Structure 1
Amino acid sequence: MNTPYVPPPGNALEHSASGFAKTMCSAVFITGVDPAVAAESLGYFVAPYAQRKSIGAPVVDRSKNEVRVTIPNGPTLVARYFGSQGCITLPPGKDDVLFKPVQVQSALADPATLPWPMGDAALADRLSQLPAPVVLDHFALAEAGPQEGGGVLIDLLRTGRMHVKLSAPYRLASPGLAARWARVFLQAAPQAVLWGSDWPHTAREPGRGAHQVSPYRPVPPQTLAATFREWLATPGLRQQVLAGNPRALYAF
């Protein structure tokens, strides 16, 4: 647009702190992302990395469902979770929003009954009809916890045409999320589970583009071994996931 840029009124650092608090609140209380992961990975368009160095570390208060970010020698910006209305940053110096929050009732149908991209029903049908077996890496990059009863992903694993790999738990929102999915996968469809180290543990540093070089993640072998023993708790399960399942899948 051929118009001059006019910055919004107010203090730029306060705007960034407000955006940082809002991003952290949504990540933690809505998406379920680990706070440390969220602070290093999300929301740079509303809180640039350079400006984050000038404000305090976000404080997650789970008792109040809020995140607080303090500017040195300045105000504390608070973003609070208001249920179906999401996370809202409070006006500086205020302890509540300036309106009465209401519960928003969803009018959407169950995603399992809707075609892609609004749901996953048609996608599940297409995946189950592919001519070759499919392996989903990295816990299928599940964004949320397992549904009651397993959901579409578990149904696909039970068909014998779909497999999932326990690898790269750091690519999920939190370590706890990976452990929950591992238990569900192994209970529901142990014959469809594989394991991978994800070596050399590639990463992208905050602020770097997709084609910029970042160092590998420092994942010690002891950490891999600990999660391996946690997920595959018995010798029989280890034999199945490490040897039996890949032998059957790849016809070794």
Structure 2
Amino acid sequence: MDIRRRNNVTVTGRAGGQVLLLAHGFGCDQNMWRLVVPALARDHQVVLFDYVGSGHADPDAWSEQRYGSLEGYAQDVLDICEDLDLRDVVFVGHSVSAMVGVLAAAQAPQRFSGLVMVAPSPRYIDDDGYRGGFGADDIEELLESLESNYLGWSAAMAPVIMGNEDRPELGEELTASFCATDPDMARVFARTTFLSDSRADLKTVAVPTLVLECRQDVIAPREVGAYVHAAIPGSRLVTLEATGHCPQLSAPQATAAAITEFTGGAR
């Protein structure tokens, strides 16, 4: 199988530089990184891709069985690393992809030298002693709404997820990204994302890790960032002066600067 075509892989930046593998979240694609790539590409080799079921990845490669679990997305990451023979990789994962990176690094530790977790959440549903930001009923209602009217759900939820009400163009962009995703594939990815519980996997992280959170984020509140930071010994927690769940769009300069500072220290 042509992995590069399957996952719409693109490579840019400085050949021989520290490899950054950028992974998008639910409802998005690699285009979500475009505002941080120019800054990152000055000193790094940047690898971007779309998960199968997203963006311009090959839709014929999608199956509900594979992509009904986070392990399926982690396998996309590992396939790309093997196909490009990537080593010493710093994996940069947004939202649910932060946990995908944790799974991939646990399966192939020889390929990864660091993790950057952008607005991560190991579990979205509150639990005893844990605040994920949502009650179980909230998530079930969210998923039922998504499944009954995906386009309507996207139009309503994307601006909430993005935040930054004073910059409506950001919410409009995320809405367009959601709406460009195949609804059937999006439904599976949504259930995989919002019903996941990856808290136990955090203890497997054995590489330098940066946890990037926003000062206000309805999807991954700051209690979640604190939890992830505490669960990964030696990790670094940085709170960006940004709001919403997508700092790579709302605060690209600060996001790129934090990643660059981290990689300089992680090498």
Q: Which has the larger radius of gyration?
A: 1
Name the one with the larger strand percent: 2
Please, what TM-score do these two structures have when normalized by structure 1?
A: 0.29
Query: TM-score, normalization: structure 2?
Result: 0.28
Greater share of residues in helix: 2
Q: Which has the higher contact order (CA 8 A, sep 6+)?
A: 2
